[in-house]
Amino acid sequence: MIRLKSSDGRLFAVDEKTGFMSTLIKDIVTDLGATTEPIPLPNVSGDILVEIVRYCRYHKDDARLSNSVPDILQDDSLIEAWDRKFMNMDDSKMLKVISAADYLNIEPLVDLGCLAIAKIIRVLSVEEIRKRYNVVDDFTPEQREQIQKELERMK
């Protein structure tokens, strides 16, 4: 068993197959060898690690993910119903899960999370995206005009 310690001190025990979905954890275990000490994960809170562990436990035997990540960005029909339900969370939590998956180097989860965000924002206007994700519009009017001209040329 691999023991993990979240940033808020919560402890998690996962089997090797589950833990090794994370390249970071796999590299740490490989470098340290067998240890009873928990692996500290200072960038992942317990609430988010619960979700990460749940995802990894579900997919630990999924050869499709361990051999090569399907191109879900090109064909989202490849996404399982379980994954669709898993990503059905509020924006804040979803962004934290994606960030933690990136930190832990769990590529299939990063891809899944990015696709979920992409599907959300593709139906929103620029203003709606700014408001939803607190993106500050710091372009000058001249910069906005230049961008608009470049976009028109690309059409």
Percentage of the chain beyond pLDDT 90 is 56
pLDDT beyond 70 at 72: no
| CA-atom Rg of the chain in angstroms | 19
Q: Is the confidence at residue 54, as pLDDT, over 90?
A: yes
Residue 9 makes CB contacts below 8 A (sequence gap 6+) with: 46
Q: For position 118, what pLDDT does the model report?
A: 87
Structure tokens that stand for 123 in this block: 């139906």
Confidence tier at 33 by pLDDT (50, 70, 90): confident
What is residue 135's predicted lDDT score, i.e. its pLDDT?
A: 87
- Please list the residues that pair with 5 across neighbouring strands: 11, 40
Average pLDDT, the chain: 88
pLDDT given at position 66: 46
Per mean pLDDT, which range of 14-23, 57-66, 123-132, 134-143 is the poorest? 57-66
Closest CA to 21 of 110, 107, 116, 93: 107
Checking DSSP bridges between strand 39-40 and strand 2-5, what pairing results, if any?
parallel
8 Å CB contact between 76 and 112: no
Residue 78 clears pLDDT 90, i.e. is over it: no
Predicted structure pTM score: 0.81
